[in-house]
Amino acid sequence: MNRIKSYIAVAALASMVACSSEKSWEVAPPPSEDKGEVVGNASVWVTSGSKGRLFQKLDDVDIYSASTSSGTSITVDFSEKYQSIDGYGAALTGSSAYMIKNGLSTAKRAELLTQLFDPNSGIGISYLRLTIGASDFSLSDFTYNDLSAGQTDPEMSQFSIAKDKEEVVPVLKEILEVNPDIKIMASPWSAPAWMKSNNSLGGGSLESEWYGAYALYLAKYIEAYASEGIHIDAITVQNEPLHETSGYPTMKMEAEEQLVFIRDYLGPLFEEHSLTTKVILYDHNFDRADYPITILEDADVRKYVAGSAFHAYAGSVGSMSQVHFAQPDMGLYFTEVSGGEWATDFGSNLQWMMTNIFIGTGKNWSKNALLWNLALNENHGPTNGGCQDCRGVVTIKSDQSVAYNEEYYALAHMSKFVRPGAERVKSTLQGGQGIEHIAFINEDGSKVLVLFNSNATTVNADVLVGENQFSVALEGASAVTLLWE
């Protein structure tokens, strides 16, 4: 990963966020008589930048049969729908799987997995990313077809996912027991060294003579996981294809190379093997929207591609909309960002993640939002080169206790309420500023509004939905999720 230790200048946002520990939640004033009769209620969940409330459920608010406001309001229009949602989650890296399997007792592991993946008693994570072979968060460098110098295996006769069966596969099977419907995306960091220009996992590029062999390698991966009862919903063709280093597995793949590889090798081979796994382009930073757009201009490659994926270590989230409006029939996915010791202020991190990643990517057409490591230890590892001070969604400590980090709370505000199959709908802010907002309707008809108040002080806001409305007090520098029928 090309780590830019900034959370995209998250430190610059710190001064914008007031996180007084003395501030308490202020209940919205009771509605006036002209708001009509009570016709329902909405549940309210809050995480404050001050840590005064951490994903805390408050008393329900009443919904009234009126639709007027003279102050700050958010109007939600469920008749205007946008993209469907695949889910929210993080990456089950080799390091994360190792910590979950070996850092916890059976009972504590079950407790953590329930908290993370159960949509009723936990936060209901619904999407995971895997690494195809090793990444910078694995126990060692490896692929599924490592050979001695000078050897080749174009038929993949020596292909094996034995390494993944040590931790990743067993943990995945336990997760599937908690949430059998979870979606899984997988991304390679490098092809086997014998296929590459430098005969190394670190850096280099895929030699064109091995395009067919590498396509078979990826197909074999999907089939091997299927034999374990694990369906891979999507793959990205290459993690961070414009970054290469010798320090951990990476592989350069320019847009033209990715186009040819998918169009002439991977796509036809998936068809031949009757694989329905989605193929997703790019999987790198916001700053190069031209990469996927260039590939999608080829009419022959489009039939094999489901969309494009982005990371947040450079550029701005609006690039996703640039790709959407260039290719509106293609999906968009957000697949990686990490917090770390370069940005340790809880309130600033919460604001950045909510406004840029969870609300920001959704409003820019993303079908998901995934963070990086699901779990790491107290030393930010185990690591395999690359980032040495990244933060997991949770931290598993040596005494088997678990710390739930700001990534967990930001993720929870989406994953528990916005379920796979939900559709984003129109929401509009009126009469105020500094309120980030995004709204959804789930397949079961339940409605969700996620807000972040970037102001330092409490804002009383009305939520207007058709002929009904309700009021909520948004504490300064806090995330709020509202759920109603």
pLDDT at 35: 72
Instruction: Collect contacts of 34-38 with beta carbons under 8 A, ≥24 apart.
Output: 34/66, 34/68, 35/64, 35/65, 35/66, 35/469, 36/64, 36/65, 36/66, 37/64, 37/65, 38/62, 38/63, 38/64, 38/65
The CATH class of 85-421 is alpha beta
Mean pLDDT in runs of 10 for the chain (485 residues)?
Answer: 43 35 41 74 98 98 91 97 98 98 98 98 98 98 97 98 98 98 98 98 98 98 98 98 98 98 98 98 98 98 98 98 98 98 98 98 98 98 98 98 98 98 98 97 98 97 97 97 97
Instruction: For residue 457, give both structure tokens.
Output: 């002080």
Q: Are 93 and 386 in contact (CB under 8 A)?
A: no
pLDDT at 26: 44
ω before 170 within 30° of 0 (cis)?
A: no
Q: What is the pLDDT of residues 102-113, one digit of tens each?
A: 999 999 999 999
Global confidence as pTM: 0.93
Q: Are 51 and 346 in contact (CB under 8 A)?
A: yes
Cα(first)–Cα(last) distance of the chain, in Å? 42
Tally Cβ neighbours within 10 Å of residue 419.
20
Active-site residue list:
240, 336
pLDDT at 34: 63
**CA-CA distance, 374 to 350, in Å (whole number)?**
17
Q: What is the mean pLDDT of the chain?
A: 94
CATH 2.60.40.1180 domain range(s) in the chain: 10-83+424-484
**Phi then psi dihedrals of residue 173, to 5 deg:** -65, -35
Residues forming beta bridges with residue 451, ordered by sequence position = 437, 480
CATH 3.20.20.80 domain range(s) in the chain: 85-421
**CA-CA distance, 196 to 36, in Å (whole number)?**
70
Q: Does domain 10-83+424-484 have CATH number 2.60.40.1180?
A: yes
